[in-house]
Structure 1
């Protein structure tokens, strides 16, 4: 990175949070959020809550986290981790409307100011799915929601949280997409996807297109829980015929809510640079998301200068089955 690099408060906040979560695990010896709460003396109370999953409360009688009594075991663990992130980073109390399930908010928009919800999510992900655990799943080829489900089951967290964690640390060209009633709600891109794809290709508040498995579900109510190749044009603008993307879409527990993992059918089957640990990859991805200048500067330095010999763009090269992109 050049000498002109300036880390935004948003980027600094996320990196400080990652380091803090790793340090707290080592200091406390805790392996779960529940164990860490006990170590900190934070009481966990299950009760009826409307419009929220959990709330951190600090007062003269001590600190405790109230948890909605309808949460699943995975949802409860995630909520504890998220609220402990607020506790550990000493955030001000968030509005009740923001006390929701896992979701990334740093999605194809440039981020400058600190975001406490982003930081709490990051703390929860790093603590429940530390690097040594996520490294066992994040670079599988092909990468599908099966890997996310295995990570979720291993860590005891919701599938959505595991999918977000995978995409922030993986070396693969992929993106997680959550849609509700046929409209994209958020997108979580991997670092290599972010480098190759145009941001407008996958944007929140756009309608899920025909040709995708997600659209088929909204049109017919039917969905196979298996990854399939679909025309890349079903998800991306300006893609020529003959380009494909692997789509794995599943229906979540909430009506009309589906989770999709998009990945390229052709990818480089090579080990990542040892310096690009999950931690380093997450930082690089967030750096590229922090500003248009950061992304443009990085691509100018590290993407090939020559045009792609296999397809109109390098992204499309990864969407051609059987194409050698090494």
Structure 2
């Protein structure tokens, strides 16, 4: 078995999506997938409400904490905190192109400073015993040369990093929104494959544009794993199908079993004061492409229904025939 087998199926860090409640749902769908938090900035952890950002359910393992920052000392302090909290991996964001991260000089901007990133990686590795990994793009703006990303990865490899999650597009720092950056820059899967060829004993995980189960299977064979982004959110059945392929001998929950487990989770979390709209955010796409999808989303997003029915609105949607999903 490959040393990188636990990265074979991953769910990407997505801002305002992959909170602990969404991750719990994803864990029910794919028991062995590696889950990633939303990007958490070093400032939010060191000067904000750390438990709010770091708390997670034990069922989420294996789960990785993704950090955003560019100062080695601050990142090291946060990495140590993540390990103490029980995370299985620390991941450094070198791919987000939003204006907010550009103002903070981290995210995709860091690809222009590989030596600084190497210092950040080394600082974190020095204080934790769990893997320190990087999620990155293939280039910046108009530079689509393979040499750019090869040299970036090579610098981090020399610093000891051994797992690279490559979003197979460039990041365009000016003129494109984060959404456009996920869609407009061309996919360059062949360059990700070249990274694996040039760094054969590193784990190379493919991210970007993966929506089809068969495509994911192909890249799982060619590389060390795949990372689903919006596909896991908008089409959870894709994650479920891949979870079954990755662990064919593992226990797989039926849709009814997933529902019952998540409903119990919702009841407990809502009882602790978590708003229903937050709890339901990660499951709105569960019926995508099937009859009743619009009604499912509408009912679980209706403030009046949420207030009037509480958690029972979820069971109401299910029992109305909106949840009878194919296995």
The TM-score with structure 1 as length reference comes to: 0.27
Which structure shows the bigger proportion of residues in helix conformation? 2
Q: What is the TM-score of this pair, normalised by structure 2? A: 0.27
